[in-house]
Amino acid sequence: MTAESAVGHGRAHGKVILLGEHAAVYGSPAIALPVAALPVSARVSRHLGPTESDHGRRGVRIRFWVQHQISRSSGSSLYAAVAAARQQWDLLDLPVEFRLHCSIPLGRGLGSSAACAAACVSALADLVGRAVDPIELFRLVQCGERLAHGRASGVDAWAAISHHLLWFEDGAARTLSGRLRATLVIADTGICGSTRRAVELVSEELQSSSGCRRLLDRASELTRSAAEMIEAGDVPALGRAMNSFQSILRRWGVSSPELENLIAAATRAGAAGAKLTGGGLGGCVLALTTPETAPDVVEALSRAGAAHVWTTAVQDGPPTPSTLELLCPSERIREYDGHRPGYT
Ligand code: MEV
């Protein structure tokens, strides 16, 4: 237990899923890479003034501000995580105001909702001088994720608070070691996907066809073999596994013409493999390249109409900001302006 302070600070970050999205909701494994260069920072203070757009409880005010407007659904998931922490830590009578700076584009499958929740819950713990261990933090973030996704496997919540390549299975996560000399290229279609809608869609597909259900086993096999390929540093084989996983996601109906356009562009430019990452129905494509082929793939994705393109190294150990470059500086996330309430 540390001392209470006037303000509390918390941080978290975005993620990409290499393989296993959607299947993870049904207990299959997933491999996720935390992306430290897509950070979220939260600052919380004891809030005393009157507010307009509050989520109040028992007359006690709680308010969130972010640097740009976000949707009501993302806001509710954040509120749910913070509400669970306030309840669990007996802080329902404490009025608080959060200010967030989120550099993760929202609704792109990069884990913005989990990262915002993790940063706020950590900031609240810091404010009241409470030590919070990773499992407690994960559980609180999951309260919001369940609200955001309907069914949430927990992979986003773990990735938001971890610093290593992760093996995730059945709600638990561990570090995955690897010797992969590879560059991941992340390309944004610029289209917001809805993870909740995508998770519902896959659930409908699984109920309607035994062929779709059988693909769950195939998804697990692919993810398990991908872990061995990462361990062995086999980029071409991992690329093929990613392509096969994309075929499954396509069958489940969560790809889109815009995603397929970027996948085709990355493949033509020499990527070892390419697939959507996260929920799909918009959002981002993840292409596996070598450091040598990465520039051609980046250029091809930009030419094919990607709204943003980033690269990040796959490495064993904590990712650092230098491992991810923002390749479209003109699209830099705007600085926090402090005047627009979000989560209303
Ligand atoms: C979203 O990033 C990943 C999904 O598998 C949902 C989940 O696992 O909670 C689509």
pLDDT in tens, 147-194: 877 889 999 999 999 988 999 998 889 988 877 889 999 999 999 999
For residue 333, what pLDDT is reported? 24
Pocket test for ligand 1, best of 28, 156, 170 (most atoms within 8 A of CB): 156
Confidence band, pLDDT 50/70/90 cuts, at residue 108: very high
Q: Identify whether the C-beta of residue 201 lies closer than 8 Å to the C-beta of residue 73.
A: no
pLDDT in tens, 23-39: 999 999 999 999 888 89
118 CA from centroid of ligand 1 (Å): 16
| Mean model confidence pLDDT for the chain | 84
Q: How far is it, in rounded angstroms, from Cα 193 to Cα 198?
A: 8
Check pocket membership of 22 for ligand 1, CB cut-off 6 A: yes
Query: What is the pLDDT averaged over residues 263-272?
Result: 98
Query: Sheet containing 273-277: which strands, arranged edge to edge?
Result: 273-277, 284-289, 182-188, 308-314, 324-326
Nearest CA to ligand 1 atom 2: 278
Check pocket membership of 20 for ligand 1, CB cut-off 6 A: no
Q: Characterize 267-277 residue by residue with b for buried, 16 or more Cβ atoms within 10 angstroms of its Cβ, and e for exposed.
A: bebebbbbbbb
Torsion of CA 189, 193, 199, 205, to 10 degrees: -60
